[in-house]
Structure 1
Amino acid sequence: MTESPTPARCYALIPCAGSGSRAQAPGATTGKPLAKQYQPVAGQPMVMHTLAAFAAVACIRDVLVVVAPGDDFFERHSAPCVVRDCGGDSRARSVRNGLHDLFEQGARGDDWVLVHDAARCLVTPGQIEALIAACRDDPVGGLLAHRLPDTLKQEDGAGRVARTLPRADKWLAQTPQMFRIGVLSRALDAALAADPDAVTDEASAIEALGLTPLLVPGGALNFKVTYPEDFSLAEQVLRGRAKDQA
């Protein structure tokens, strides 16, 4: 009898090597700049909320967090993840390095990886599971995204409206973004070699191969904490969820 092939496994990869300069704030005790993913939100560092959501998804085999060389945060904080200090000088290079590390850990090219921003701390296990369910049998993979709710304007370069753009087919890309590890690794290698600045997310690298990722509805609250005012909103949402679960 011919043995059935081993089903593809799911991994998560969290690039966590950025400084988050737009949200930069001094560390609480050291006075040194504290990267935004480590700043406290609702009682604990932001990235810990992110990791908790992935830890609650049973089908994810491992969560790999990619940090910058010399980053000792996870030496001081226990978390349900594998940590590697192979972060690069851009998000795309950190993800590419993380994918190579997954291969070294025994991942196969046909396994899936869910790449997620450390600063999207409001993602829920339900949203992660919905993405996996939608993409697991898809030939390409896909990403969480949110239909653009507002009127979209194009600037003329001088701070004035040049024209109004149709929004019916516009989506805001979110994460996680879920693709086969082998395909994504090749896509990032090619995209970084061609134009590093054009790699704005994993889906853009996949698109450059001529593939069309699936758009899976996410939600307005799955936003990336970027600016100082975002922290207060994330705090309110997380504390509200905790109160509902109490």
Structure 2
Amino acid sequence: MYALVPAAGSGSRLGSELPKQYLELAGQPMIAHTVGALLGCARLRGVTVVVAPGDTRAAACLAPQPRLQLADCGGATRAASVRGGLRWLLEHGADARDWVLVHDAARCCITAQAVDRLVDACRDDAVGGLLALPLADTLKRQQDGAAPVRVQATVPRGGLWQAQTPQMFRIGQLADALDAGAGAEVTDEASAIEAQGLRPLLVPGEASNFKVTLPGDLELAEAVLLARSGTRAPRRLRHG
């Protein structure tokens, strides 16, 4: 059982010169928090971080660990980075039948307890699954072509879930699904699996396991991390 962390993106929506996975939060680069939580799950044989070719930042900010590997095979898209990482795992001793947990580098508030809950739910399942949260907020669809933007309709939220990561599937099955979906819009691993006619499990996640995407998310993530460490004093974020 392995964890795979695609970390080849630039995080352009944050407006930082530094890729967001390397921004400092609560005294450490964001990716260090993410990897540390995954390494806290003892059932994971290894954690592989997929970086862009020539990226040396990950090696500089992640302390060497026996269960931590870096793979410089990242691609232009998340799906390409995941596919490259799966290939790397297979070339370095993993079996196609082994489980892989793919997790966003920018979900730095993940806990080892949430990872264990996903593993417990999926390890005997024929398909696998993902952490997710049932939608609680009222959903609105915007009116096309309106300026200013106005509501077109309220969307029923019953049965809708917000996908999180990790997402846990067999290495070979996921690789085949990503290959079959090449050229299509694959926003997460589960969507590639679903396109094969399979139905992944939905495993309740945690509200704190959000993805850092916009500037305000940085402050929220840091507040969560500081609270967990017992340090509540505010500090200035460094955006690179």
* Aligned pair partner of 2:13 in 10, 19, 22: 22
Of the structure 1 ranges 79-88 and 233-242, higher mean CA displacement relative to structure 2 is found in 79-88
1:125 to 89, 112, 115: 112
Structure 1 residue runs without a partner (length 5+): 1-9, 26-32
What SS does structure 2 have at the residue aligned with 1:34? coil
Supply the AA of the counterpart residue of 2:180. A
Which deviates the most, 66-75 or 183-192?
66-75
Residue 243 (structure 1) aligns with: 230
Amino acid paired to 1:56: G
Q: Take 1:22 and 1:185, find their aligned partners in 2: how far apart are those partners?
A: 28
| Number of equivalent positions | 225
Shift of 1:116: 0.2
1:154-165 paired onto structure 2 within 5 Å? 154-157=141-144, 158=146, 159-165=149-155
Of 8, 20, 29, the match for 1:45 = 29
User: What does 1:58-137 correspond to in 2, within 5 Å?
Assistant: 58-77=42-61, 78-80=63-65, 81-137=68-124
Q: Per-residue deviation at 1:79?
A: 4.3
Amino acid at match of 1:172: Q
- TM-score, length of structure 1 as denominator length: 0.89
132-141 or 79-88: bigger deviation: 79-88
Cα displacement string for residues 126-162 of structure 1 (whole angstroms, at most 9, x for unaligned residues):
0000000000001100000011110011112222211
Distance 2:59 2:113 in 1: 29
Match of 2:162 in 1: 172
- Residue 91 of structure 1, CA deviation: 0.4
Matched letter for residue 74 of structure 1: A
Unaligned residue ranges in structure 2 (runs of 5+): 232-240
Tell me the SS of whatever aligns to 1:82: strand
- Secondary structure of the structure 1 residue equivalent to 2:167: strand
> Do the aligned partners of residues 203 and 234 (structure 1) sit closer, same or farther apart at CA in structure 2, a change above 3 Å counting?
same
Q: Answer whether contact 1:152 1:165 (CA < 8 A) is retained.
A: yes
User: Which string of whole-angstrom CA distances, capped at 9 and with x for unpartnered residues, describes residues 206-229 of structure 1?
Assistant: 000000010000011100000001
Q: CA deviation at 1:23?
A: 1.1
The one-letter code sitting in structure 2 at the alignment partner of 1:47 is I
Offset of 1:74 from its aligned partner? Answer: 2.8
| 1:75 shift after superposition | 3.1
Please report the RMSD computed on the Cα atoms of aligned residues, expressed in angstroms.
1.0
Cα distance in 2, alignment partners of residues 90 and 12 from structure 1: 19
Q: Please say if 1:208 is aligned against 2:195.
A: yes
What amino acid sits opposite 1:112 in the alignment? Answer: W
Q: In 2, distance between residues paired with 1:24 and 1:176?
A: 26
C-alpha distance in 1 between matches for 2:136 and 2:64 = 36
The answer to whether the 8 A contact 1:48-1:79 is kept is: no
Query: Scaled by the length of structure 2, what TM-score is found?
Result: 0.92
- C-alpha offsets along residues 10-59 of structure 1, whole Å, 9 cap, x if unaligned? 1000000000001132xxxxxxx200000000011000000010111101
The residue aligned with 2:238 is none
